[in-house]
Amino acid sequence: MNIILLGPPGAGKGTQARRLVDERGMIQLSTGDMLREARTSGTPMGKQVAAVMDRGELVTDEIVIGLIAEKLDGDKAGGFIFDGFPRTLKQADALGQLLDGRGEKLDVVIEMQVDDEALVDRVSGRSTCGSCGEVYHDTTKPIPADGKCSVCGGTEFKRRADDNAESLKTRLFEYYKQTSPLIGYYYAKGHLRTVDGMGEIDAVAAEIKAVLG
Ligand code: AMP
């Protein structure tokens, strides 16, 4: 099964994708994570995209489509979860072609709906485990009192450079301008399902489970 998690920054796409990886053996393809990795390892592409990402703008379609194309040729396991991709109509078309070319199909696009005001809180309190990527939040899911990640025991936690009010404003603007047209695009193809992303992590996971069966 191949699915897309669609929603604004802070909607909980990464958190829900990780659950699907654990529970269904699916493979999470997060272009945001791939780009951050490229930055950390200092590749020329990583250097090229750094400032754009910090401002909250989108990197070029060519770069992210290339990243996804590479990963589609790897392990497929329980199917792919596209997290943060596609973000433009051009990327959506490219994904359709990439899947077609590999004899695969897209099964469902899950739109996670969250109020804009909630996104600011979610994004500004967010941190992740530096070892396994588990996501924490200052108020809703604090780092355990012993300072160790509850999943892997890691003790280093990172905050994203673009998780600040100024970048979030740009990221939301980009979402509404460039990504939200995908809602109509996938609705027209009969792929779209919508879940309420405002609830607790478990409640949202249950809704996603109901959609996926
Ligand atoms: P994310 O982790 O999905 O919030 O992505 C972080 C940042 O990486 C975004 O604000 C963009 O600058 C860039 N990015 C991630 N995925 C894409 C994409 N599919 N298209 C363009 N830019 C992307």
pLDDT, tens only, 129-141: 999 989 999 988 9
What is the spatial distance between Cα 116 and Cα 129, in angstroms, rounded to a whole number? 25
Structure tokens at 39: 């930055």
CA atoms within 13 A on the CB side of 5: 34
Catalytic: 13?
yes
Per-residue pLDDT reduced to its tens digit, 10-64? 999 999 999 999 999 999 999 999 999 999 999 999 999 999 999 999 999 999 9
Closest residue CA from atom 8 of ligand 1: 32
Structure tokens at 102: 């590999």
Quote the ligand 1 centre to 171 CA distance (angstroms). 9
What percent of the chain is predicted at pLDDT more than 90?
A: 88
- Give yes or no for a contact between 69 and 86, defined as CB atoms under 8 angstroms apart: no
- Give yes or no for a contact between 97 and 119, defined as CB atoms under 8 angstroms apart: no
Catalytic: 19?
no
Task: Say which of 13, 18, 39, 71 is annotated catalytic.
Answer: 13
Closest residue CA from atom 14 of ligand 1: 32
Put the strands of the sheet holding 157-158 in their side by side order.
135-137, 126-129, 157-158
Structure tokens at 197: 């992303």
* Mean pLDDT value of segment 158-179: 93
Residue with token string 């003790």:
155
Per-residue pLDDT reduced to its tens digit, 71-91? 999 888 899 999 999 999 999
Catalytic: 160?
yes
Quote the ligand 1 centre to 33 CA distance (angstroms). 8
pLDDT of residue 72: 94
Q: How far is CA 191 from CA 65, 111, 158, in A?
A: 20, 10, 35
Per-residue pLDDT reduced to its tens digit, 91-102? 999 999 999 999
Ligand 1 mutation pick, 5, 13, 61, 87, max ligand atoms within 8 A of CB:
87
Task: Please tell me what DSSP assigns to residue 156.
Answer: -
Quote the ligand 1 centre to 52 CA distance (angstroms). 9
- With a 6 Å cutoff on the Cβ, whether 32 touches ligand 1 is yes
Residue 165 has pLDDT above 90, yes or no: no
Q: What distance, in Å, lies between the first and last C-alpha atoms of the chain?
A: 11
H or E segment to which residue 195 belongs? strand 192-196
- With a 6 Å cutoff on the Cβ, whether 59 touches ligand 1 is yes
Residue with token string 């600011």:
120
AA identity, residue 207? E
Task: Say which of 24, 76, 160, 193 is annotated catalytic.
Answer: 160
